[in-house]
């Protein structure tokens, strides 16, 4: 019995246990649910296949007509990036996403599968998901010629019609396009026989979407291979060529620096992509916060209740926005939204650590938690000069400026003169990231007008929220040069005149 016959026999075996193969698990539920499972049944059902681009175009227009969100959860692109993507899909164009790191390029590419049908019929056992009505590989053509309407089909879910590869130096033509399979040659086939090919990632995503992250990192040889597959519709392997008219949408991402300066995308390949779409970072603080709240890591069970004041969210988002404009930071590399997410998680974690250590019921991030973001943002920015001490200074300066701008949004310094005056008589206020929240309450009671001032940023009387608000006000007055600040031993800070 030949290898192909053995495989065929194995594939049609009935499913008996829960641990049967993935292919078998697809077939049996289809037969039980009444879906066509042979070519004859598919024809009798009246099912008609369409090209991939037509399928995506039809589904997209239907979603637009029904006002369904095409890219749910993507924030800040409604008036810029998303309309360009929709136009490209309606036009049936391959797409390159051009943007710095952390601009949701990969996420958008993966969400394109929402534009595919829920399921798609393909010839059973085909490596490249052949259309039952128009097979392109030799194996499927021979199978239909032999079995006719009895040829079995499977229904492939949309999730399995997506392929993705990160461009790395070790990628080869064999990985992306294919190579000769020595086992098939050993069975007695000639090298020139199409059936000796082991198909690569791109052909195996036939009738689907294939995405390449960081396209410029592919060697020119590989880019030529891709272009040949896209333009000439043939595969050249080991000195012979095979006509292979794949039905596939190729999507790629690239960094602007790689794409324009290093010039590593060959001109014919650039020309083949119909749409070049530029992504961008969130334009507003509100959009940045919205992304952070959606993407930050959360745990199903948390023993400590946590609350993050709005002004702390704004400070964290503002730090990232300022970093994207800082002359000390290499802007060609960009500052990802991941910086905001990591900083948010870090200050929240320090607040939780404090609450657990001190036995407090509520964890609320404070200004004194902000120095800990050095560990979370340090690996996400690239300085123009490589000095370790300068990195800390740059981060601290960004933090101070973010606190100052956020404070001035909530308060007018002139309205706080009554509070500042109380410090003239020698009054001082000591804070620390590990100081119990109740320790703040006693000093707050001694300060005239403070309850009214606090209501600008919090309506709560819980000590943890009051402590965070007090630190915000004191630091804002210091940065506006109305109070002095000095460091004490044990990580404490004192505000005085």
Average pLDDT, the chain: 85
- Predicted confidence band of residue 171 (pLDDT cuts 50, 70, 90): confident
Residue 140 scores a pLDDT above 80: yes
Tokens of 65: 């007509």
**Domains delineated in the chain:** 35-278 (3.40.50.300), 285-496 (no CATH)
**pLDDT of 465-497, one tens digit each?**
999 999 999 999 999 999 999 998 888 999 998
Tokens of 420: 């500042």
Are the beta carbons of 478 and 484 closer than 8 angstroms? yes
Name the one residue in this structure whose structure tokens are 């199903």. Answer: 300
Tokens of 126: 């085909």
Nearby residues of 388 by Cβ (< 8 Å), 6 or more positions away: none
Residue of 475, 470, 438, 476 lying closest to 457 (CA atoms): 470
Q: What is the mean pLDDT of residues 315-343?
A: 93
Instruction: Give the model's pLDDT for residue 373.
Output: 96
Residue of 216, 204, 219, 307 lying closest to 270 (CA atoms): 216
- Predicted confidence band of residue 32 (pLDDT cuts 50, 70, 90): very low
Measured distance CA(305)–CA(326) in Å, rounded: 35
Instruction: Determine which of 40-49, 106-115, 189-198, 330-339 has the lowest per-residue pLDDT on average.
Output: 189-198
Instruction: Give the model's pLDDT for residue 448.
Output: 74
Q: What is the mean pLDDT of residues 63-73?
A: 95
- Predicted confidence band of residue 31 (pLDDT cuts 50, 70, 90): very low
- Predicted confidence band of residue 176 (pLDDT cuts 50, 70, 90): confident
Angle made by CA atoms 352, 357, 358, in degrees to the nearest 5: 100
Of 96-100, 228-232, 286-290, 382-386, highest mean pLDDT = 286-290
Instruction: Determine which of 181-190, 289-298, 410-419, 441-450 has the lowest per-residue pLDDT on average.
Output: 181-190
Measured distance CA(475)–CA(407) in Å, rounded: 9
Element (H, E) at 466: helix 463-479
Distances in Å between the Cα of 388 and the Cα atoms of 233, 267, 335 are: 52, 41, 18
**Alpha-helical runs (H) found in 206-325:** 220-227, 256, 267-272, 285-295, 310-323
Measured distance CA(479)–CA(147) in Å, rounded: 81
Residue 292 scores a pLDDT above 60: yes
The pTM for the full model equals: 0.82
Residue 233 scores a pLDDT above 80: no
Instruction: Determine which of 45-49, 300-304, 451-455 has the lowest per-residue pLDDT on average.
Output: 300-304
Instruction: Give the model's pLDDT for residue 8.
Output: 37
Residue 14 scores a pLDDT above 70: no
Higher pLDDT, 27 or 429: 429
Instruction: Determine which of 101-105, 240-244, 258-262 has the lowest per-residue pLDDT on average.
Output: 258-262
Q: What is the mean pLDDT of residues 224-240?
A: 69
Q: What is the mean pLDDT of residues 155-181?
A: 86
Residue 318 scores a pLDDT above 90: yes
Residue 42 scores a pLDDT above 90: yes
Instruction: Give the model's pLDDT for residue 468.
Output: 96
Residue 23 scores a pLDDT above 50: no
Residue 16 scores a pLDDT above 60: no
Measured distance CA(257)–CA(276) in Å, rounded: 15
Measured distance CA(100)–CA(107) in Å, rounded: 14
Q: What is the mean pLDDT of residues 13-39?
A: 49
- How many residues are recorded in the chain? 497
Q: What is the mean pLDDT of residues 296-312?
A: 89
Are the beta carbons of 278 and 77 closer than 8 angstroms? no
Instruction: Give the model's pLDDT for residue 19.
Output: 35
Of 14-23, 299-308, 355-364, 413-422, highest mean pLDDT = 355-364
Instruction: Give the model's pLDDT for residue 6.
Output: 38
Element (H, E) at 121: strand 119-123
**Which percentage of the chain shows pLDDT scores above 90?**
57
Instruction: Give the model's pLDDT for residue 151.
Output: 94
- Predicted confidence band of residue 158 (pLDDT cuts 50, 70, 90): very high
Residue 11 scores a pLDDT above 70: no
The bridge status of strand 305-306 relative to strand 153-157 is unpaired
Instruction: Give the model's pLDDT for residue 234.
Output: 63
- Predicted confidence band of residue 60 (pLDDT cuts 50, 70, 90): very high
Instruction: Give the model's pLDDT for residue 263.
Output: 47
Are the beta carbons of 315 and 402 closer than 8 angstroms? yes
């Amino acid at each position: 019995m030949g290898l192909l016959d053995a495989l065929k026999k194995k594939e049609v075996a009935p499913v008996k246990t829960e641990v049967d193969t993935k292919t078998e698990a697809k077939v049996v539920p289809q037969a039980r649910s009444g879906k066509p499972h042979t070519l004859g049944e598919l024809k009798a059902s009246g099912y008609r296949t369409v090209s991939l681009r037509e399928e995506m175009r039809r589904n997209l227009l239907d979603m637009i007509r029904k006002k369904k969100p095409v890219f749910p959860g993507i924030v800040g692109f409604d008036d810029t990036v998303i309309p360009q993507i929709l136009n490209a899909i309606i036009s049936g164009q391959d797409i390159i996403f051009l943007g710095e790191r952390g601009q949701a390029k990969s996420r958008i590419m993966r969400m394109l599968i929402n534009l595919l049908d829920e399921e798609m019929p393909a010839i059973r056992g085909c490596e490249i998901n052949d259309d039952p009505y128009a097979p392109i590989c030799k194996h499927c053509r021979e199978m239909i010629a032999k079995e006719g309407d009895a040829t079995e089909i499977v229904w492939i879910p949309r999730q399995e019609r997506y392929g993705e590869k990160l461009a790395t130096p070790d990628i080869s033509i064999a990985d992306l396009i294919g190579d000769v399979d020595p086992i098939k040659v050993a069975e007695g086939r000639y090298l020139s026989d199409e059936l000796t090919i082991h198909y690569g990632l791109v052909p195996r995503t036939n009738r689907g979407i294939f995405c390449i992250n960081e396209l410029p990192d592919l060697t020119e040889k590989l880019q030529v291979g891709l272009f040949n597959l896209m333009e000439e519709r043939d595969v050249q392997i080991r000195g012979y060529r095979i006509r292979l008219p794949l039905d596939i949408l190729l999507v790629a991402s690239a960094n602007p620096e790689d794409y324009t300066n290093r010039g590593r995308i060959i001109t014919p390949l650039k020309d083949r992509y119909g749409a070049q779409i530029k992504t961008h970072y969130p334009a507003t603080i509100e959009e940045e916060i919205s992304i952070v709240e959606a993407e930050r890591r959360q745990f199903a069970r948390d023993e400590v209740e946590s609350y993050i004041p709005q002004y702390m969210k704004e400070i964290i988002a503002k730090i990232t926005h300022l970093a994207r404009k800082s002359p000390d930071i290499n802007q060609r590399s960009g500052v990802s939204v991941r910086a905001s997410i990591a900083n948010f998680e870090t200050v929240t974690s320090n607040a939780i650590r404090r609450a657990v250590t001190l036995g407090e019921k509520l964890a609320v991030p404070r200004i004194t938690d902000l120095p800990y973001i050095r560990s979370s943002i340090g690996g996400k920015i690239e300085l123009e000069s490589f000095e370790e001490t300068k990195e800390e200074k740059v981060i601290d300066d960004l933090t101070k400026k973010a606190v100052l701008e956020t404070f001035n949004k909530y308060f007018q310094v002139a309205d706080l003169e009554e509070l500042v005056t109380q410090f003239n008589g020698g009054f001082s206020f000591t804070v620390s990231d590990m100081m119990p929240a109740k320790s703040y309450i006693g000093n707050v009671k001694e300060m005239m007008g403070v309850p009214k001032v606090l209501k600008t940023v919090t309506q709560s009387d819980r000590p943890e929220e009051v402590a965070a608000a007090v630190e915000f006000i004191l630091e804002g007055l210091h940065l506006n040069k109305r109070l002095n600040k000095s460091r004490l031993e044990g990580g404490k800070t004192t505000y005085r005149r």
